[in-house]
Amino acid sequence: MFKVFRIEEFEKKMYKLLALHERERVTKLEAEIAKNPFTGKPLRFTFLREKRIDGKRMYFLVYEDLSLAMMASISDKKMQQKTIDEIKSSLPEFRKSAEKLQHLPDFSYSSSL
């Protein structure tokens, strides 16, 4: 079973872009990711993945060696490529955060990246 974490940016975008029923679906998807972290569509790397929620896209990173998944961002179709590029450019920072978070309980979020 993988631990699943949200970064602060993900949390902010979730409340800004998603309706209540969509946020509830995020929680269910996080539970699904904890059981099967390689669910969703891989985006260029097997560890960078996407799940759709209605017209939005939820991006997450899977760190198999840490048994950890990190909810990275949410976007609509219009901002999809920009969001993916931002995640890819921040991969070293995500990795550092993941290493720090691996000892915490799951379904929490990091206040910094």
pLDDT tens digits, 24-53: 999 999 999 999 999 999 998 999 999 999
Give the separation between CA 113 and CA 111, rounded to whole angstroms.
Answer: 7
| Residue from 35, 43, 41 nearest 69 by CA | 35
- 41 three-class SS: strand
102 or 94, which is more confident?
94
The verdict on domain 3-110 having CATH code 3.40.718.10 is no
Give the separation between CA 101 and CA 106, rounded to whole angstroms.
Answer: 9
pLDDT at residue 103 in the model: 78
pLDDT at residue 98 in the model: 92
Other Cβ atoms within 10 Å of 50 Cβ, number: 18
Give the separation between CA 95 and CA 91, rounded to whole angstroms.
Answer: 6
| Residue 85 clears pLDDT 90, i.e. is over it | yes
Domains of the chain: which residue ranges? 3-110
The length of the chain, given as a count of residues: 113
Under a CB-based contact definition with an 8 Å cutoff, are residues 60 and 40 in contact? yes
Under a CB-based contact definition with an 8 Å cutoff, are residues 108 and 11 in contact? no
Beta bridge partners of 57: 52, 75
pLDDT at residue 107 in the model: 53
31 or 104, which is more confident?
31
Regarding pTM above 0.85, the answer is: yes
| Residue 111 clears pLDDT 70, i.e. is over it | no
pLDDT at residue 106 in the model: 57
